[in-house]
């Protein structure tokens, strides 16, 4: 049986018997009733080394929250890391973070949104491992496994990247990377050297 709150949600907007549902009640229903929209959990890695790195990461978090069907549930600490796959000192250091989201979007639509956010922050793909304003990468989507070249799930290299695993552990210490095991154990295997937490900056969880 539907709860009264669910009935209110599903009645037409013009029905004169409908009374506004307090925002606090809506939030509680959204958080507690997974059957309402059947949201899934996704892990999204953020990183960039051009421009105002913190401002860009925060802008990406805010843009995710502004996406219909997406709610940002947690954001990690900010970490500073050396660029991956390039000679030492050839690029500026990165700011990296992870956002944990609940979403009703299918993986393909979430990918489209991630790419749109990158484009909004002028992400330019001119060379592999090149500097960039922002990366918005889907690391995992619930327990979905896919070898689609357009969106491989989970991310095929996440298990070996401390700059993804360490902030992921921040937001979900019990997390497991499908096919690879607990994130905590993966961090133990790859180590966390070079992933430096920036205690002087932080990302805000959208209200």
H-helix segments, 51-161: 53-65, 107-120
Residue 62 falls in the annotated catalytic set: no
The residue annotated as part of the active site, out of 135, 172, 196, 198, is 135
Structure tokens at 62: 């805010």
204 is catalytic: no
Catalytic residue, from 53, 132, 161, 170: name it.
Answer: 132
Residues in the chain: 207
Angle formed at CA 53 by CA 65 and CA 93, multiple of 5 degrees: 135
The span from the CA of 207 to the CA of 203, in Å, is 12
Catalytic residue among 53, 113, 137, 161: 137
φ and ψ of 110, to 5 deg: -65, -40
- Reply yes or no on whether 123 is catalytic: yes
Q: One of 30, 33, 102, 123 is an active-site residue; which one?
A: 123
Tokens describing residue 180 = 């690879």
Query: Is-catalytic flag, 71?
Result: no
- As annotated, the active-site residues are 123, 132, 135, 137
């Amino acid at each position: 049986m539907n709860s009264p709150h669910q009935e209110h949600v599903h009645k037409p907007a013009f029905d004169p018997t409908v009374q506004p549902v307090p925002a606090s009640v809506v939030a509680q229903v959204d958080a507690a009733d997974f059957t309402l929209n059947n949201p899934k959990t996704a892990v999204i890695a953020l990183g960039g080394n051009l421009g105002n790195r913190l401002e860009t990461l925060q802008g990406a978090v805010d843009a995710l929250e502004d996406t219909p069907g997406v709610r940002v549930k947690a954001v990690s600490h900010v970490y500073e890391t050396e660029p991956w796959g390039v000679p030492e000192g050839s690029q500026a250091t990165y700011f990296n973070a992870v956002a944990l989201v609940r979403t009703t979007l299918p993986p393909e639509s979430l990918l489209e949104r991630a790419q749109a956010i990158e484009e909004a922050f002028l992400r330019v793909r001119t060379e592999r491992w090149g500097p960039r304003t922002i990366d918005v990468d889907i690391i995992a989507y619930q327990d979905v496994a896919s070898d689609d070249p357009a969106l491989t799930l989970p991310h095929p290299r996440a298990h070996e990247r401390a700059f993804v695993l360490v902030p992921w552990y921040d937001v979900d210490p019990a997390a497991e990377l499908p096919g690879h095991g607990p994130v905590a154990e993966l961090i133990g295997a790859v180590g966390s050297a070079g992933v430096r937490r920036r205690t002087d900056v932080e990302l805000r969880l959208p209200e």
